[in-house]
């Protein structure tokens, strides 16, 4: 079971086990391996606006 990271702006949750395939992040991609230029698919803020839950 992977880490879950929540966007503090819109509450989108990035789940490492699911990834974000629509935006090029494969299932199983660890949060630290998500590209730095990736943005929240709902509100478009960067990784610095996410916290672990």
Q: What's the CATH code of the domain at 44?
A: 2.20.28.10
Predicted pLDDT of residue 42? 98
38 assigned to a ligand binding site: no
In a domain? residue 53: no
Predicted pLDDT of residue 16? 98
7 assigned to a ligand binding site: yes
What is the sign, positive or negative, of the torsion defined by CA atoms of 42, 2, 35, 26? negative
Residue 5 corresponds to which tokens in the numbers above? 């990271």
Full pLDDT tens readout for the chain, 53 residues: 689 999 999 999 999 999 999 999 999 999 999 999 999 999 999 999 999 99
40 assigned to a ligand binding site: yes
In a domain? residue 11: yes
In a domain? residue 12: yes
Predicted pLDDT of residue 6? 98
Tell me which residue range forms the domain holding 25. 4-48
Instruction: Tell me the C-alpha distance between 1 and 47, whole Å.
Output: 20
Give the total number of structural domains in the chain: 1
Predicted pLDDT of residue 2? 85
43 assigned to a ligand binding site: yes
């Amino acid at each position: 079971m992977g880490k879950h990271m929540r966007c503090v702006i819109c509450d989108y949750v990035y789940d490492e086990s699911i990834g974000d395939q629509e935006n090029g992040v494969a299932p199983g991609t660890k949060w630290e391996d998500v590209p730095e230029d990736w943005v929240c698919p709902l509100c478009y803020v960067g990784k610095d606006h996410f916290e672990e839950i």
